[in-house]
Structure 1
Amino acid sequence: MTDPADVWRGRVQDHLDAAGRPPVGGMADWEVFPFEREGLTPKAMGERVVPEPDRSRGADACGTCKALARDDLVLHTGDRLAVIRPGGTSTMFVANVVARAHERLDDLDETADEELGRLVRRTYRALRALPGVGNVHVCKWENGGGHLSVNLLARPLGVLELRGSNLPVWADMLPDIPQDEYDARAEAVRAALA
């Protein structure tokens, strides 16, 4: 049987330049793209790596597990899941719906799936209700760390550059909001989730 990922890679290979780089795509023309097109150079695509290397971390090296142990970062605790926040952010607010145990999305049962849906919805609404929030983006990047985290990022009202999938890129380049503002918003979110 033909490997679908090999077929995909073959199609992509035909579009790469001599250095193995794809052309700059249409995303560079989006008004929310955080970089100028001129001078932008995509990285060369590497070879496929199969099997993929294990990128998981044990609970002792997991940042999410460490955050779950800090009362100031835990906003809500459910049966199997919790809502936490990182220590700082450059956006209006960031909350993560996470597993209370060191487990992935694949490990959840149907009851936990239902809890995940409810907590994402409730957290979305709590962030959306914060003053100055234009929208809330919901995404999941597990990246092999071994701990489920569904991220909710609150975008500042009227800051249109931060719309869409480039919000995390913009957020990485912007300064963190003052800690006292972030902490006050955390209390509002904690109260909304209670």
Structure 2
Amino acid sequence: MTTHNNLNPNSPFFHEERHASLASFVDRPITICGAGALGGNLAETLARMGFTRLKLIDKDRVEMRNLSTQPYSRAEVGAPKARALANMLYRAVQAKLEPIVTELTAANAPKLLKESALIVDAFDNRAGRAAISETARSLHIPCLHIGFSNDGLYGSGLWEPGYQVPQEIAGDPCDYPLTRPFAQVLSALAARSIVDFFRENKSINFELTWNDLKISSD
């Protein structure tokens, strides 16, 4: 158990180490599929917690419309999301995130995912989610699927093998005005679920709606 006397106050991960040491598993390879409102914010959270072996797969480039929900800046508009986030996190905490700028498909998923200790699916399309689910099951790799509804009011994190690939539904949850705070809450829950998985071998599902977050001013 980490004691406060052993802590380095100059460490960028001081607060995480003070709360509970993650040292026994921060070097486990995690592959995050999708660098949008959920995947991008989750990758940033894990990097700032001290995870050292992150791979981020995304084919998209940063657009102006992404800046209100995702961890990118105006200077990065037009750049591949995965590379932009890798550069930002290296500057921030010297995290070495491996960017993979490609479309994940059923054909290349086994090669891209095979060395993962954990897969996180944060895609927003059915084909990508289906490819990840099938590959994770066939390779026996633990996998957490995170997502939220197109109205931006419901989100979940579901582990294999109980995950069912959802049908495509028209709409974009990123158009919802409260997308960023909701996505950050979901990303935080996903990070906690990942820690519980590595520390206690627990695959904890979670669901959240805005109605769950009732705040009283009394």
* Same-fold call, TM cutoff 0.5: no
State TM-score, norm by structure 2: 0.23
Which is higher, the Rg of structure 1 or of structure 2?
1
State TM-score, norm by structure 1: 0.25
The one of the two structures with greater contact order (alpha-carbon pairs below 8 A, sep at least 6) is 1
